[in-house]
Amino acid sequence: MKTNGLALAVDLGASGGKLFVGELKDGKAEIYPVHKFKNKIVLAQGKAYWDFLRIFDEIKMGYAHAQREFDGRITSLAIDSWCNDYALLSEHGTMIGSPRNYRDSRTFGWVERSFGLMPQYEVYRRTGQQFQRFETSYHLLAEKEQDPDILGIAKELIFIPDYLAHLLGAKKYSEYTIASVSNLYNLVRNEWDREILDAYGLPQKIFMPIVYAGEKVGEIAKDVTDELQTPSAEIYAVGSHDTASAVVAAPAADDEEFLFISSGTWSLVGAELRHPIMTEESMRLGFGNEGGVMRRNRFICNVMGLWILQECVRMWNLQGKAYDFAGLAEEASKIVGCDMVFIDPDDERLFEPANMPEVVAQMIKEKGYTPRSDIEIVRIVTQSLACKYRYVVDNIEYLTGKKFPCLHIIGGGSQNVFLNQLTANYLHKPVKTGPADATGIGNILTQWIGRGILKDLKEAREICAASCDIRTYQPVGDEAFERHYQKFLKDIKKA
Instruction: Give CA–CA dist 404/69, Å, rounded.
Output: 43
Asked if 430 contacts 475 with a C-beta cutoff of 8 angstroms, the reply is yes
Q: Contact 366/356 with Cβ under 8 angstroms? A: no
Angle at 419 between CA 416 and CA 424, to 5 degrees: 125
In 266-416, alpha helices (H): 280-284, 307-318, 325-332, 356-366, 374-400
Helices (H) and strands (E) counted in the chain, each on its own, are 19, 21
Tell me if residue 242 is catalytic: yes
* Strand order across the beta sheet in which 234-236 lies: 28-38, 16-25, 7-12, 76-80, 234-236, 216-219
Q: What is the largest CA-CA distance in the chain?
A: 64
Residue 82 DSSP SS3: coil
Active-site residue, from 162, 193, 242, 344: 242
Q: What DSSP designation does 92 have?
A: T
201 DSSP β-pair partners: none
Reduced to 3 DSSP states, what percent helix, strand and coil does the chain have, rounded to the nearest 5? 45, 20, 35
The total of other beta-carbon atoms located within 10 Å of residue 104's CB is 20
**42, 49 Cβ separation under 8 angstroms:** yes
Say how far apart CA 286 and CA 336 lie, in whole Å.
Answer: 33
Calculate the dihedral angle through the C-alpha atoms of 111, 290, 95, 98, rounding to the nearest 10 degrees: 50
Q: What does the alpha-carbon distance between residue 244 and residue 442 come to, in Å, rounded to a whole number?
A: 8
Closest-CA residue to 28 (of 458, 469, 468):
468
Contacts of 71 (CB under 8 A, 6+ apart): none
CB 390 within 8 A of CB 419: no
Q: What is the DSSP letter of 350?
A: G
Q: Phi first, then psi: what are they for 77, rounded to 5°? A: -145, 150
Positions annotated as catalytic residues are: 242
